[in-house]
């Protein structure tokens, strides 16, 4: 029983690490969004306002993805429902 619980907790930590790796990719995505927007504004200064608005929408969506990854990691580490189900079924 203890080995199975240890394996379950190890897999939860592994899943949290995968979820947190989302933050790395989010950072690269946000950098790409900003660099492309700045390049577009340099090429077409008259469209800078609409490009800036689209950039902020894209940044908000990318940041939301990173926050969801953090939320999933916190759930897997501190409020994992699988541990409670496992303990109820084994006990």
Whether 87 is in a domain gets the answer no
**b/e per residue 8-25 (b: at least 16 CB within 10 A):** bbeebeebbeebbebeee
Whether 45 is in a domain gets the answer yes
Question: Global pTM?
Answer: 0.74
Whether 68 is in a domain gets the answer yes
**pLDDT classification of 91: cutoffs 50, 70, 90:** low
Whether 52 is in a domain gets the answer yes
Whether 64 is in a domain gets the answer yes
Residue-wise pLDDT for 11-63, tens only, equals 999 999 999 998 888 999 999 999 999 999 999 999 999 999 999 999 999 99
Domain count, the chain: 1
Whether 90 is in a domain gets the answer no
Whether 40 is in a domain gets the answer yes
CATH of the domain at 73: 1.20.20.10
Residue-wise pLDDT for 4-14, tens only, equals 888 988 999 99
């Amino acid at each position: 029983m203890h080995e199975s619980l240890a394996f379950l907790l190890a897999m939860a930590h592994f899943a949290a690490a995968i979820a947190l790796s989302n933050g790395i990719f989010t950072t690269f995505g946000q950098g790409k969004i900003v660099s492309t927007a700045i390049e577009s504004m340099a090429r077409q200064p008259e469209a800078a306002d609409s490009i800036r608005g689209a950039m902020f929408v894209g940044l908000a969506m990318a940041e939301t993805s990173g926050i969801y990854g953090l939320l999933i990691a916190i759930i897997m580490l501190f409020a994992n429902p699988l541990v409670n189900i496992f303990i109820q079924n084994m006990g």
